[in-house]
Amino acid sequence: MAWDLDNAAHLLRRAGFGGSMAQVQQLYGLGQEGAISYLLNYESIPDPAAQDVNALGLDVTKRNDAAAWMLYRLLVSTRPLQEKLTWFWHGHFTSSVNDIPPQYMIVQNETWRANANGGVLPFLKAMYKDPAMLDYLDNNTNVASKPNENFARELMELFTIGIGNYTETDVKEAARALTGWRISAGPPPVGTFVVSRHDNGNKTVLGVTGNLNGDSVMDILFAHPANAPRICTKLYQFFVRPDVNAGDLAALVATWGATNGNIKAVMNALLHLDSFWAADTRNALVKSPMEYTLGLAQRFQLTVLSAANLRTGVALLNNMGQYPFAPPDVAGYPQGLEWAGTSPMLARYNAANTILYGAAGAVIVNQLTQGQDVSTAAKLVDVLAFQMGPLTLTATTRQGLINYVNAGGYTGTAAQIQSKTRGATHLLVSTPEYQAQ
Amino acid sequence: MKSFNISRRRFLKGSLAAGAAGLLPNLIFSGSADAAASPTNVVIVVHLDGGWDGLNTVVPFTDPAYAAARPTLAIPGGDVLPITGALGFHPALTGLKTLYDQGKVAVVNGVGYPNFNRSHFAAEDIYWTADPASAPSTGWLGRGLDVMNTGNVMSGVYIGSATPLSMLGDTVSVPAIPDAASYTFQSGGNAADDAAVLSAAVQIIDQPATGMAMIDGILVQDRALRDSIGQVQSAAAYQTSVTYANDSFSRSMKFAAQLIRANIGVRIISTDFGSFDTHSGQPARLTTLLGNLSAGIASFQQDALVGGFANRVTVMFWSEFGRRVAENASAGTDHGASAPIIVVGEGVRGGVVGNYPSLTDLTGGDLKMGVDFRSVYASVLSDWLAVNDSQVLGASWAKLPIFL
């Protein structure tokens, strides 16, 4: 494979949210290995967003502001892969702001971020003590006298080994082992263990018997042979494509085994798979609303943001069916064509319209066209397809866009560039080609 | 698609009006209903999301095992709304009780299937596909629409954001519409420019398949969008005289009534409401949820009478499972097994269908099933929608006396 700008853009769409064209150029300049390494080893890159977010005046005890807080971190971060992984783990270790105090979600978001690239086992041990998780799946009311098995079931079904690999008895026994945790509201809220609420009897989970506690349940599930393939498959389906082949899965699971479940090592292997770079992988996923929205904002360089701007972004995402911090259920967010209902797609097209014809419209037009030859309709369309991708359009789509620009006569005057760049960009990001990635 | 040209014109008109007015849809009241669509029976399928507590909804209030299993959650016999000598509705279901007394409500007891799955997602898939064994990529309602083969994009509508598996067919594409107000294509330029935008959009979404699955899948949705926008806007222009509450269920039912009244060929509507996943704090949550359900169905029935379509609409409530007989320590209940399905409408044979499951002869602490859910589906398909049920369900299931 020849390393080119298309490949750099593909890498940044998958291992990030698309970034600006300047960031794509920067990755391209690093070469393929350099670009992968830069994205993976993000710990040494300063991330001012972590502090800057505090200056926005957001009240994270309110759900819209908590969502705006996360939107800012995802959008402005200097560490694309850290934020993409943080977003992935939100869809995996789900909790929802619909059921718990918004500020708990901020704490949980930092737990995803802190563990995003590390070991899966310490991540599991952090997640079950997380106050948002304790609250969301009722483990804070799981006591020795009367176990509540909600968390134990979802832990096995969704967070680790998957359905078919455990029995109802395993769920009940694991629930007993997970008794005793409560939430100290703080701030900051923390999970605390109360011995008197814990079931100290013997339990048997997946064939292991003893006075098991939460950590021992995580040890058992982490080491279960179904766990690594399941998490690796989920990572592959999120970062690469929906159909995972046996050879690629085996490679990821082998890396997991060799590194005791280190996520950075698995991601390194994933970003080196031939199938990650294959031509037909480029359109194998549908952008989620978050990917769509952040992709637009990053490419339009809308990174100087007020609290009000961010709240607008949250409202637009809600219209598209993806309220940040509120996955539809404990299985996380949809994928692929599940996003492509008529109404959520319409909400995307209308969101792009809102942005392009809003206060930032003129700045966006200048940023997309400045210094470019846009003297004819075809040239304008090709410039925009490059700036928003590079995006490969079908001949029909390209011609439709050219027809739009030419309608009413186009000679490349400043006024025409302003109006036609907005309309053509609105159409371009409403095409099927742009929804795929 | 039969209504292609008309729909495209409506799409353009609707969108232009939206652009010119800065927003919205009242200007689009141009279209009459699709001439080919005739008033035929309609079903609204409501998924009570999360697994509802059938036991505290249709309460066996005279059974001592009930109070014994639910020391804090049992609803006292004096509080229930009795429908038989042994069964009563949850006290919040006052509107449903009135409809029951009018003979418009069938309560099907103990609905389920062999070997219950207590995962929300696996259980939903079973109810959605009606085929636990082979787990197809289509749902029972989508296949019903396939068999109807009306060629009308409005024959099935999902009221919500993302069409569930139940509504996916092999040939139909069901629009997902959370509400009418947002269901219009906005374009922010001047009128001439917006017309050019829409013309280009139509050219782009009419292009042939690309061979790339995701792109082609989105093209299908875009065309369904184009074909549905105008019809939805004209349907939603009708303002009923009936008062609805403002919770999500009542809003959905109000919108459903507008769609049916518009005579645009709607046959199947589905929506969902919840969450009924009451692991904790159940009493207050269930009271609110069932209160909303009861008020929503009562307003809808009244609206259907006022609108003259009551005799051709049926509403069916189902959930992916019931809840465990014994309560938990969090004033809640965990995932269970069988649960009632409730069917409401003028065409319904009011009463109770099937025996109430025993509260002492349990499987793993859960109520056993008495009626297979596919028998309910078969009855709705065959006896209400006049669709060949075995073609949809892949087998013949015994029909139940749910409809007149």
Name the residue in chain A with its Cα closest to that of B121.
Answer: A331
Q: Are A163 and A221 in contact (CB under 8 A)?
A: no
Instruction: Establish if B175 touches chain A: CB-CB under 8 angstroms.
Output: yes
- Asked if B328 has any chain A CB less than 8 Å from its own CB, the reply is yes
Instruction: Report DSSP letters for B88-149, one per residue.
Output: EE-TT-HHHHHHHHTT-EEEEEEEE-SS----HHHHHHHHHHS-TTT--SS-HHHHHHHHH-
At B274, which CATH number? 3.40.720
- Asked if residue B203 is part of any domain, the answer here is no
Q: What is the mean pLDDT of residues B20-25?
A: 31
Q: What is the mean pLDDT of residues B292-305?
A: 98
A373-383 average pLDDT score? 98
Q: Which residues of A touch B218 (CB under 8 A)?
A: 286, 337, 340, 345, 432, 435-436
Do B46 and B315 touch, CB atoms closer than 8 A? yes
Cβ of B215 within 8 Å of Cβ of A433? The answer is yes
Of B185, B196, B218, nearest to A408 by CB-CB distance is: B196
In chain A, the percentage of residues whose pLDDT exceeds 70 is: 100
Which tokens hold the place of A118? 């590390």
Q: What is the mean pLDDT of residues A381-387?
A: 98
Tens digits of residue pLDDT in B149-171: 988 889 999 998 778 889 988 88
Cβ distance A141 to B280 less than 8 Å, yes or no, reads: yes
Which chain A residue has its CA at the smallest distance from B277's CA? A150
A353–B119 CB contact, under 8 Å: no
Nearest to A350 by CA among B211, B307, B26, B181: B181
Residues above pLDDT 70, as percent of chain B: 90
Q: Do B228 and A342 touch (CB under 8 A)?
A: yes
**Cα-based torsion angle of the residue sequence A239, A240, A246, A252 in order, rounded to the nearest 10 degrees:** -40
Distance of CA B353 to the CA centre of its chain: 21
**For the segment A161-203, what is each residue's pLDDT rounded down to a tens digit?**
999 999 999 999 999 999 999 999 888 999 999 999 999 999 9
Q: Is the pLDDT of residue B369 over 90?
A: yes
Position B134 pLDDT exceeds 90: no
Residue A261: which pLDDT band, with cuts at 50, 70 and 90?
very high
Q: Contact B214/A426, CB-based, under 8 Å?
A: no
CB atoms within 10 A of CB A357: 17
The pLDDT score that the predictor gives to residue B383 is 93
Query: How far is residue B297's CA from residue A127's CA, in Å, rounded to a whole number?
Result: 41
**Chain B environment of A288 (Cβ under 8 Å):** none
Q: Which residues contact A359 (CB under 8 A, 6 or more apart)?
A: none
Write the CA distances from A114 to A119, A236, A295, integer angstroms.
11, 21, 24
Helix and strand numbers, DSSP H then E, in chain B: 11, 11
Whole-angstrom distance, CA of residue B336 vs CA of residue B51? 8
DSSP B330: T
Contact A427, B204 (CB under 8 A): yes
| Alpha carbon of A423: minimum distance to chain B alpha carbons (Å) | 7
The ipTM assigned to this model is 0.92
Question: Which residues does residue B318 pair with via DSSP β-bridges, in sequence order?
Answer: B47
pLDDT greater than 90 at residue B135 = no
Q: Say what the pLDDT of residue A138 is.
A: 93
pLDDT of B302:
98
Is residue A128 classed as helix, strand or coil in its secondary structure?
coil
Residue B142: its pLDDT value, please? 96
User: Per-residue pLDDT tens for B88-108?
Assistant: 999 999 999 999 999 999 999
CA–CA distances in Å: residue B105 to residues B89, B92, B343, B347: 12, 16, 6, 9
Element (H, E) at B43: strand B42-49
Q: Among candidates B122, B120, B49, B81, which has minimal Cα distance to B317?
A: B49
B36 versus B65: the higher-pLDDT residue is: B65
Looking at the predicted structure, is the pLDDT value of residue B2 above 50?
no
* Phi, psi dihedral angles at B318 (to 5 degrees): -140, 165
In a domain, B151, yes or no: yes
How many angstroms from the chain centroid is the CA of residue B77?
31
Q: Which of B187, B227, B363 to mutate to test the interface with A (most CBs of A within 10 A)?
A: B187
Distances (CA, A) of A355 to A300, A352, B139, B186: 10, 5, 37, 12
| CB of A114 closer than 8 Å to CB of A130 | no
Of A150, A321, A433, the CB nearest to B162: A321
| Closest chain A residue to the Cα of B175, Cα to Cα | A342
Interface of B with A in 60-99 (CB under 8 A): none
The pLDDT of residue B21 is above 70: no
Q: Do B328 and A146 touch (CB under 8 A)?
A: yes
Distance CA B326, CA B43 (A): 34
Count of CB atoms situated within 10 Å of the CB of B78: 8
d(CA B12, CA B15): 5
For residue B18, is it within any domain?
no
Mean pLDDT of A221-247: 97
Kindly report the average pLDDT of chain B as a whole number: 88
The residue ranking higher by pLDDT, A424 or B33, is A424
B257: pLDDT strictly greater than 50? yes
Mean pLDDT of B136-140: 89
d(CA B55, CA B32): 46
> Which letter does DSSP use for residue A218 in this model?
H
Our CA-based measurement puts residue A353 at a distance from the nearest CA of chain B, in whole angstroms, of: 6
Chain B residues lying within 8 Å of A337, measured CB to CB: 214, 217-218, 221
The distance of Cα B119 from the centroid of its chain, to the nearest Å, equals: 21
A286 vs B214: CB contact, 8 Å cut-off? yes
Whether the ω angle into residue A225 lies within 30 degrees of 0, i.e. cis, is no
- pLDDT exceeds cutoff 80 at B13: no
Q: Could you give the CA distance from residue B216 to residue A340 in angstroms, rounded to a whole number?
A: 11
> For residues A115 and A109, what is the distance between their CA atoms, to the nearest angstrom?
10
The answer as to whether B191 is a domain residue is no
Task: Give the per-residue pLDDT at B23.
Answer: 31
CB-based contact, B183 to chain A, within 8 Å: yes
The answer to whether the bond into A187 is cis (omega within 30° of 0) is yes
Least confident window among A87-91, B8-12, B261-265: B8-12
- Structural domain contains residue B351: yes
Size of interface A-B (CB pairs under 8 A): 179
DSSP symbol at B70 = -
**Does the pLDDT of residue B30 top 80, yes or no?**
no
Query: Which DSSP state fits A63?
Result: H
Mean pLDDT, chain A, rounded, equals 96
Q: How many domains does chain B have?
A: 1
Instruction: Give the SS3 label for residue A231.
Output: helix
A141, A181, A343: best mutation site toward chain B, by most B Cβ within 10 Å? A343
Residue B280 lies in a domain: yes
Which domain range does residue B346 map to?
41-183+241-393
* CB-based contact A130:A89 (threshold 8 Å): no
Cα–Cα distance between B337 and B54 in angstroms, integer?
10
pLDDT of the residue at A263? 98
B337-350 confidence digits (pLDDT tens): 999 999 999 999 99
**Average pLDDT, integer, range B2-23:** 30
Please give the average per-residue pLDDT across B244-251, as a whole number: 97
